[in-house]
Amino acid sequence: MSNINKQVKVISDKVVCETPWLVMKNRTYENKHGQKNSWDMVSRPNDVKAVMIVAQMTNQKNERCIIITKEFRVPINDYEWGFPAGLIDDGESIKETVIREMKEETGLDVVDFGAISPFTYNSSGMIDESISMEFVEVSGTISNELLEKNEAIETFAFNRQEVLNILNNNKNKFGAKGWLIMKQFVMTGKVL
């Protein structure tokens, strides 16, 4: 293992801007050569973490499907194909968050938990937000009745061919983790 972690040192953080959901900071650090540098970054207040839910179910044709969302994302001014996700509420466990977010965003019920990843990072050069991926089995009927008023989400239960179709459309946008999981499902019929 490299000793680089011992050579780089954070000196201070200065809050540049703060909203209820995000904090922009300028971080001063010392590089491995002892030189001071700064880095602009975004944080979640109070170390809030998030979940991304990779759900599978069997459809009426007895095909394995994954639950995929098409959600409007304001920063990209477009829809992103991905998976149900959300912030972990204060005092809530990962499993409680998964059950709540799955029901709110898709109308579906979690019936079994599979693998749960450690907390990972989407864009560690920009934000320190961490996300745990949960692999679950779901049942029920897709519904958008419980969406929050500012959420614009469509939910689909797609088989391998349907996932391939959205992956092959060059106009579609994806989160990096979402694209990889969808590609694996197309290639193997499994998500883990």
Q: What is the model's pLDDT at position 192?
A: 79
Q: What is the mean pLDDT of residues 115-143?
A: 93
Tell me the mean pLDDT in the region 54-64: 95
The DSSP symbol for 88 reads P
- Please tell me whether residues 117 and 36 are part of one structural domain: no
- 9 and 94 together in one domain: no
Asked if 142 and 178 sit in the same domain, the reply is yes
Per-residue pLDDT at 30 exceeds 90: yes
Same domain for 151 and 64, yes or no, is yes
- pLDDT in the model for residue 122: 84
Q: Please tell me whether residues 29 and 57 are part of one structural domain.
A: no
Dihedral sign, Cα of residue 105, residue 106, residue 108, residue 110 = negative
Q: Which long-range contacts (CB under 8 A, 24 or more apart) does 29-36 make?
A: 31/7, 32/4, 32/7, 32/8, 36/11
Question: Do both 51 and 39 map to the same domain?
Answer: no
Name the residue among 51, 190, 23 with its Cα closest to residue 122. 51
Q: Are 37 and 58 part of one and the same domain?
A: no
pTM: 0.88
> With pLDDT > 70 as the criterion, what percentage of the chain qualifies?
97
If asked whether residues 21 and 115 sit together in one domain, one would say no
Domain boundary among 43, 58, 74: 43
Query: What 3-state class would DSSP assign to 2?
Result: coil
Same domain as 104, residue 131:
yes
Do residue 15 and residue 70 come from a single domain?
no
User: What's the pLDDT at 48?
Assistant: 85
Read off the pLDDT of each residue in 135-139 and give the average, rounded to a whole number. 97
Mean pLDDT computed over 148-159:
94
Q: Looking at residues 53-82, what average pLDDT do you find?
A: 95
- Mean pLDDT, the chain, rounded, equals 93
| Of 154, 150, 56, residue with least CA distance to 105 | 154
pLDDT above 90 for 81: yes
Same-domain pairing of 50 and 36: no
Co-location of 135 and 165 in the same domain: yes
CATH code, domain carrying 107: 3.90.79.10
Residue 6: the pLDDT is 62
Beta strand segments in the chain, E = 9-18, 23-30, 36-43, 50-58, 64-73, 78-82, 85-87, 109-116, 120-121, 130-139, 153-158, 173-174
Answer whether residue 170 shows pLDDT above 80.
Answer: yes
Locate 165 and state its tokens: 């179709």
Which amino acid, 103? K
**Residue-level pLDDT at 168:** 97
Range of the domain at 159: 46-188
Looking at the structure of the chain, the number of domains it has is 2
Which range (3-12, 157-166, 180-189) has the least confidence? 3-12
The owner of tokens 């179910």 is 57
Tokens at 102, concatenated? 């799955």
**Separation CA 53–CA 82 (nearest Å):** 9
